[in-house]
Amino acid sequence: MSSSASIRRLSPQVVGKIAAGEVVERPASVVKELVENSLDAGARRIDVAVGRGGLDLIRVSDDGHGIDAADLPLAFERYATSKLSTEGDLERVATLGFRGEALPSIAAVAEVEMASRSPDAAAGAFVRLEEGAVINSGGEGMPAGTSVVVRRLFGRQPARLKFLRSPSAEAAQIATVVSHYALAYPEVRFSLTVDGRPTLHTPGSGRVADAAAGVYGQRVAESLLSISPEEAADAATNTDGLSVAGLLGAPPLSRANRSYVSLFVNRRWIRNRPLTFAVEEAYRGLLTAGRFPIAVIDIRLPPGDVDVNVHPAKTEVRLRSEREVFGVIQRRVRGVLSRHSPVPDLSASAWTGSGVGTVAGMVVEAKVQPALLPPSGALSASPPAPVEGMAAARQLPVLRALGQVGTTYVVAEGPEGLYLVDQHAAHERILFERFLSHRDAAAEERQALLEPVPVELTPRQQALVQEIAEALEEQGFSLEPFGERAYLVRAVPAALGEKDVAQAVLRFLDLLEREDAVSDRRQRVAISLACHTAIRAGQPLNPEEMRELLRQLEETQMPRTCPHGRPTMIHLSADALAREFRRR
């Protein structure tokens, strides 16, 4: 650990370049600033305790390099920092803090006490401030490190208090801040105590998977897939020094809102809509509508390619090459997911639990088999992963169709035991990928009508048809406006194949309307068309058809889920069978 660097006042020129604004909006912003200071001080252990949502008490202590006793009061002066000195430094900030604003801003709205000792100092020292002014200081016996106690936050700013939410809501925000730093810094041991109750703890082992277990719980952590740092594949982009690593929730693991996508740029937790969207897009077709992924994305760039000085709370950054970063994230996330899309595993306990003896009566829940993490889950130390877009056929074992159950599921045998394949979901997957690969529907996939057929659309359908006209065209639809709300259908995709064209088109539009969670137009059309066209449950299949279905499924990129993200198959492993029959 380097010893403490001296704190200096920034020159007026540098101060003038700093993005000004409110640093301390709520208790969580205090925690964020204090934790960032501890990380900048090279701490390996950071303990956070809060009382009543942080309004009564916030205490952050660390074992970092501390502050020299003589510098303690200077730390509370505005624009005094040990982290940069020249304007040039502002172009390549490598620390989380750099403005010398946080401590004075906190001291202006709370009572603060800071005690610190650098490892080479014989003793520590403390300062106590009220309303921004030092009211007491002295020596303090303490281990090396720094401890900051903030009391009565906004005690003299009743107007500010009114804008805060309930203490438990504020405590939840604090937990979010600590969680994110714990994920970004797995080598640091974090703990959070809320109103005396330990609420979060990470071991500081250096493995992100361990930090994720502390933050999200063991069960979630076990089903996280690792994105290891890229190799040659991404060297092709012209962003030198860009790396993307992290952890991804396997698709069955999803959340009802998008706050579980955590982005870090050079280990700074940031918000960025486009990059969050890049992650969500990569999950398209793997999660059901309204569900969002869990992801921890660790982006590293040369400091000169990132401008961190654009937002007062430093939660937004400007990237010089956001487009490339977007592309790399999307490809890498997609690559990991397509290699790992899991087969739900029908465990022996679920099997027994349902009390069913025959496959036909099966109503048991599919339990998802946790995907295995590679031995090292560390963001930076995982083995290189194979390049995405690997031979798709290998993602599914070769399956042999045995028969059909309830005219809905195909029973199949594979090297790993028994599989039940949902015929509709499987066919949807096959057709979805086929439709999506059409650029312009070839003549044989497009059915021109001898007589144009009129259809009448609702205003909503009309708006939709206009909005995605191009994607419809690509799939072989030709719809021509014809008066108020009417359209003339001149051609349809051959796959639509029904005698009553008007009815088929309306039914298709119905499905299309419902797929409103799919933002990509081509995907939306392809999903709806696949759903419209796929064989239904209840349709008898002969052995040849079943074989063909499995063969085509094997050739898809993501054979294990339908385009809506539901499983296409469940699995009863050979092991589970042996256990059930007490063969072992």
Q: Which residues form the interface with ligand ADP (CB under 6 A)? A: 7, 33, 37-38, 41, 62, 64-67, 75, 81-83, 97-103, 146
> What is the pattern of x (binds Mg ion, CB under 5 A) and - over residues 433-472?
----------------------------------------
Q: Using the rule CB under 5 A, is 29 a contact of Mg ion?
A: no
Specify the residue for token string 């997609």.
Answer: 334
* DSSP run (H or E) holding 510: helix 501-514
**From the list ligand ADP, Mg ion, none, which binds 41 (C-beta under 5 to 8 Å, kind-based)?**
ligand ADP
**Taking CB within 5 to 8 Å according to partner kind, which of Mg ion, ligand ADP, none is near residue 294?**
none
Q: Which residues pair with 557 in a beta bridge?
A: none
Residues numbered 405 to 424 that lie near Mg ion (CB under 5 A) are none
Q: Closer CB to ligand ADP, residue 21 or residue 403?
A: 21
Token digits of residue 135:
């009211």
C-alpha distances in angstroms, 236 versus 245, 282, 327, 336, 389? 17, 20, 12, 19, 16
| Cβ neighbours of residue 318 closer than 8 Å, sequence gap 6 or more | 306, 307, 310
Among ligand ADP, Mg ion, none, residue 67 binds (CB under 5-8 Å by kind):
ligand ADP
Residue 326 binding result from ligand ADP, Mg ion, none, given CB thresholds of 5 to 8 Å by partner type: none
Minimum CB separation of residue 20 from ligand ADP in Å reads: 13
Residue 263, helix vs strand vs coil: strand
For every residue of 95-142, DSSP letters joined together read SS--SS-HHHHHHHSSEEEEEEE-TTSSSEEEEEEETTEEEEEEEE--
505 binds Mg ion (CB under 5 A): no
Please write down the long-range contacts of 531-535, taking CB distance under 8 Å and 24 or more positions apart: 531/428, 531/563, 532/496, 532/504, 532/507, 532/508, 533/431, 533/495, 533/496, 533/497, 534/424, 534/427, 534/428, 534/430, 534/431, 535/423, 535/424, 535/427
Q: Which phi and psi (to 5°) does residue 424 adopt?
A: -70, -50
Which is it for strands 45-51 and 189-194: parallel, antiparallel or unpaired? parallel
Report the residue number whose CB is nearest to ligand ADP.
Answer: 97
The CA-atom distances, in angstroms, between 254 and each of 291, 314, 449, 490, 559 are: 6, 28, 44, 42, 19
Q: How far is the CB of 45 from Mg ion (least distance, A)?
A: 18
Query: Rule CB under 5 A: is residue 491 a binding residue for Mg ion?
Result: no
CB of 64 to ligand ADP, least distance (A): 5
Pick what 38 binds: ligand ADP, Mg ion, none; C-beta below 5 to 8 Å, kind-dependent. Answer: ligand ADP
**Residues 23 and 33: beta-carbon distance below 8 Å:** yes
Select from Mg ion, ligand ADP, none the partner in contact with residue 83, using the beta carbon and a kind-dependent cut-off of 5 to 8 Å: ligand ADP
Distance in Å, CB of 163 to Mg ion, minimum? 23
Among Mg ion, ligand ADP, none, residue 98 binds (CB under 5-8 Å by kind): ligand ADP
Closer residue to Mg ion (CB): 41 or 244: 41
Question: CA 467, 472, 476 angle in degrees (round to 5)?
Answer: 160
Please give the backbone phi and psi of residue 311, each rounded to the nearest 5 degrees, phi first: -140, 135
Spatial distance between the Cα atoms of 519 and 289, rounded to a whole number of angstroms? 11
Q: Using CB under 5 A, count the residues that bind Mg ion.
A: 3
Q: Tell me which residues in 81-140 interact with Mg ion (CB under 5 A).
A: 97, 102
State which residue, 34 or 441, has the beta carbon closest to ligand ADP.
34
To the nearest whole angstrom, how small is the minimum distance from the Cβ of residue 125 to Mg ion? 19
User: Minimum distance between the CB of residue 4 and ligand ADP, rounded to whole angstroms?
Assistant: 6
Instruction: Work out what residue 7 binds among Mg ion, ligand ADP, none; the CB cut-off runs from 5 to 8 Å by kind.
Output: ligand ADP
Output the DSSP codes for 266-316. TTEEE--HHHHHHHHHHTTTTS-TT-EE-EEEEEE--GGGEE-TTSTTS--
Q: Which stretch, 35-43, 324-332, 403-411, 456-464, contacts Mg ion (CB under 5 A)? A: 35-43
Task: For the CB of residue 288, give the shortest distance to ligand ADP in the complex, in Å.
Answer: 43
By CB under 5 A, residue 396 contacts Mg ion = no
| Residue 66 near which of ligand ADP, Mg ion, none (CB within 5-8 Å, type-dependent) | ligand ADP
Q: Which residues bind Mg ion (CB under 5 A)?
A: 37, 97, 102
